[in-house]
Every structure is written in structure tokens, then in C-alpha cells.
Amino acid sequence: METHDDGQAVETSVETGDEMPDQVDVLITRTRPSSTDRDPADPDPDDLELPGYARPDDAGADLRLTEDTVLRPGERKLVGTGVAIALPPGYVGLVHPRSGLAARHGLTVVNAPGTVDAGYRGEIKVCLLNTDRDATITLTRGDRIAQLVVQRVSRVNFVSVSQLPGSIRGSDGHGSTGGMPVGSTTSRPADAGPDPHQGAASTEQQEHSS
């Protein structure tokens, strides 16, 4: 912790020594089922670690799973994190997937980033999606399943006008800077052999149509 000439305390990065943005206090509490709904055999909510940062300069605080969960290939599921927060006015919480889980297992967040508004006081829940076509993902209570990034947000006043001012880009949309044309799909190399997922997809389509 350093102090400016004006007496204001300023945090510095542990790794680089650079000045860091002001920290903000976020109130947090554990969510608990009502006494009538709780099973005595359920784990103690206090045993679950609160969200925290793995490294000093990380942007996202890890959110943990409250109960063992299994996601079959292609399945999505809304899961709890066991915590609720009160953000200061002018801030928002954004729930992002964890890159390691996404890269290794294909586990992601459906509506990434999920939005936690400053006025929300309920449990933070995460809608997970297993994007792997073949493998089932098994998660254990306490696993880190997502990251919460807290940042400032501006509210805007929408002003209705008959015409917008011009810009260099104009109305050019998807694909306007090049790359893969809009509507195109990737194709398998000719020597790649049959697609191992094609049969599974056909079977799934038949099940839905029957």
C-alpha cells in the first residue's frame, strides 16, 4: 500500500508494482435453505469456501459449486454457488466461464457473461453447459465452476433521433472486416474419414422427431 501526496491510499500490484484501481467493498453472505427444506444430512454451507482470487492480479473471483453435479453430453444445468452479494450502485457482476474447464472439458456458461445487477440479493446461480458431444462431466461440491468479475457500469439516457450521425464503419455488420463469410460453415478435410459424430447426431434427430 502506497500513499499519494494528497494522502490518498493506493494499492499496487504485487507482481508488477504498478498502481491498481481503487478497491470496492462488496457485501457477501451465504445462502441457506429454510429450516423446513434443509435435510440434516446436507453439507454445512459454512464449509464451502467463499469466492476469492487465485492470484493477486486476477480479474475474476472463483465461484464454487454447492453440490455434486453430473452433466451429460450436450446437457445444461442451473447450479448454485451458495452465496449472495450486494454490489454498490454503479457496479455490475459478470459471471464468466473458467478457461481451463472450457479448454479441457468443454464446460461453459450458457449466457456468458451472466449479469448480476447491483439490486439483486438472491443466490448467484450459474447455467452450465457441457458442449462435449461424447464425454460426461462430473463435478464435485466445492469445485470452481465460474468466475465473477466486478466492474463499473454506466446507465445511459436513450435519446430518440430521426437519423444517426455518420461513421467510417456505417452499417457494416458481421464479417465486415474479412475472415469467414457470413453463413459459411467449416468442412472436414477429404482424407479425414467419416465424421464420428454424424451418426450420433442423426440418432438424436430421430429421437426428437419420434
Report the C-alpha gap between 79 and 65 in whole angstroms: 7
Residue 157, annotated ligand binder?
Answer: no
* Assigned domain for 178 exists: no
Q: What is the pLDDT of residue 178?
A: 72
* Assigned domain for 16 exists: no
* Assigned domain for 197 exists: no
* Assigned domain for 134 exists: yes
pTM of the model: 0.71
Q: What is the pLDDT of residue 201?
A: 42
- 165 prior amide bond cis, ω within 30: no
Q: What is the pLDDT of residue 183?
A: 63
Residue 111, annotated ligand binder?
Answer: yes
Residue 115, annotated ligand binder?
Answer: yes
* Assigned domain for 198 exists: no
Residue 98, annotated ligand binder?
Answer: yes
Q: What is the pLDDT of residue 173?
A: 77
CATH number at residue 72: 2.70.40.10
Encode the chain (210 residues) as per-residue pLDDT tens digits. 455 554 544 555 555 566 666 789 999 999 986 555 556 666 666 789 999 999 999 999 999 999 999 999 999 999 999 999 999 999 999 999 999 999 999 999 999 999 999 999 999 999 999 999 999 999 999 999 999 999 999 999 999 999 999 999 888 877 767 766 656 665 555 555 555 444 444 333 444 444
What's the domain range around 106?
27-33+44-152
* Assigned domain for 94 exists: yes
The total number of structural domains that make up the chain = 1
Report the C-alpha gap between 12 and 19 in whole angstroms: 4
Residue in this structure with the C-alpha cell 474479412, named with its chain if needed: 178
* Assigned domain for 100 exists: yes
* Assigned domain for 99 exists: yes
Residue 29, annotated ligand binder?
Answer: no
**Cβ 86 vs Cβ 121: under 8 Å:** yes
